[in-house]
């Protein structure tokens, strides 16, 4: 019997949205206002990504090799920066990301979700402040994100990379755990000169996908260890 598949959020990556509203088939003024705000944010995100890619294209971008990408990821010790997350259902979340390689990452979601997700000590802990239930815990190794949090990233490993392309402005690599492809995969988008990770897409084993667009990452900074403690998920 194969081991049970871990899907962290059923197509919403780390943290589920709690949807509330009126009767089915009716759109309340508040829901229309929320939808209009969402469209505005999405338009800003699209423009921001387009401008970033266009400016990179103007510098004659080249396709990055797997060795270059592996070297870049291995060179990241710590990082922090804002992110925007597009969930499988089209909803949008924003927040701040903290990374301490190897093996540690923290997502702090802005209101109204205000959730916290921590990867550390070989586990992923999901805290929903709106729930009366204790935090959920999953093995980090069963999530595609573990591939970039590994102590040594080696994208040249046999059967790890299932796609390696270039769209004229950025290099896109899709990777999976070669020994457990049922855990899903992660698609990473990089720009060059300098090499930077701009976006990733998580594909879970059930076909859902979630996109995380990264803002400007500040690297090589000191981060307190308490940010990545999974024994007790601290309040924000």
pLDDT over 60 (residue 15): no
- Contacts with 58 (C-beta within 8 Å, 6 or more apart), sequence order: none
Q: What percent of the chain has pLDDT above 70?
A: 72
Residue written as token pair 């970039």: 148
66 in a domain, yes or no?
Answer: yes
Give mean pLDDT, residues 95-103.
97
Q: What is the CATH number of the domain that holds 169?
A: 2.50.20
Instruction: State yes or no: cis peptide before 228, omega within 30 of 0.
Output: no
Quick one: CA torsion of 188, 180, 99, 209, rounded to 10 degrees?
50
Give mean pLDDT, residues 74-94.
96
174 in a domain, yes or no?
Answer: yes
52 in a domain, yes or no?
Answer: yes
Write down the mean pLDDT value for the chain. Answer: 81
pLDDT over 60 (residue 64): yes
Point out the least confidently predicted range of 33-47, 188-202, 219-233.
33-47
87 in a domain, yes or no?
Answer: yes
Cα dist. 19→68, 111, 169 in Å? 42, 14, 37
User: What's residue 180's pLDDT?
Assistant: 93
- Contacts with 205 (C-beta within 8 Å, 6 or more apart), sequence order: 5, 7, 182, 183, 184
User: What's residue 128's pLDDT?
Assistant: 87
Which of the pair, 38 or 137, is modelled with greater confidence?
A: 137
Cα–Cα distance for residue pair 53/34, rounded to 1 Å: 29
134 in a domain, yes or no?
Answer: no
Q: Which domain holds residue 156?
A: 29-95+140-220
pLDDT over 70 (residue 34): no
User: What's residue 70's pLDDT?
Assistant: 97
pLDDT over 90 (residue 174): yes
User: What's residue 181's pLDDT?
Assistant: 93
Give mean pLDDT, residues 192-215.
93
**Domains held by the chain: number:** 1
Give mean pLDDT, residues 231-235.
57
């Amino acid at each position: 019997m194969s081991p049970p598949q871990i899907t962290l959020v059923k197509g919403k990556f780390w943290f589920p949205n709690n949807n509330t509203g009126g009767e089915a088939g009716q759109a309340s003024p508040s829901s229309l206002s929320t939808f209009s705000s969402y469209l505005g944010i999405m338009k800003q995100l699209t423009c921001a990504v387009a401008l970033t890619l266009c400016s990179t294209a103007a510098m004659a971008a080249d396709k990055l090799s797997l060795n270059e990408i592996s070297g870049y990821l291995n060179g990241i010790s710590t990082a922090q920066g804002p992110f925007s997350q597009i969930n499988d259902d089209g909803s949008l979340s924003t927040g701040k990301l903290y990374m301490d390689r190897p093996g540690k990452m923290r997502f702090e979601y802005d209101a109204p979700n205000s959730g916290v997700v921590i990867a550390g000590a070989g586990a992923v802990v999901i805290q929903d402040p709106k729930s009366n239930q204790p935090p959920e815990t999953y093995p980090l190794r069963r999530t595609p994100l573990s591939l970039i949090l590994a102590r040594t990233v080696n994208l040249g490993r046999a059967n790890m990379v299932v796609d390696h392309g270039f769209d004229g402005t950025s290099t896109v690599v899709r990777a999976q755990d070669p020994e457990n492809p049922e855990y899903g995969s992660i698609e990473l988008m990089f720009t060059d000169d300098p090499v930077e990770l701009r976006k990733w897409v998580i594909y879970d084993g059930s076909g859902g996908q979630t996109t995380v667009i990264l803002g400007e990452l500040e690297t090589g900074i000191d981060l307190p260890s308490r940010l990545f403690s999974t024994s007790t998920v601290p309040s924000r």
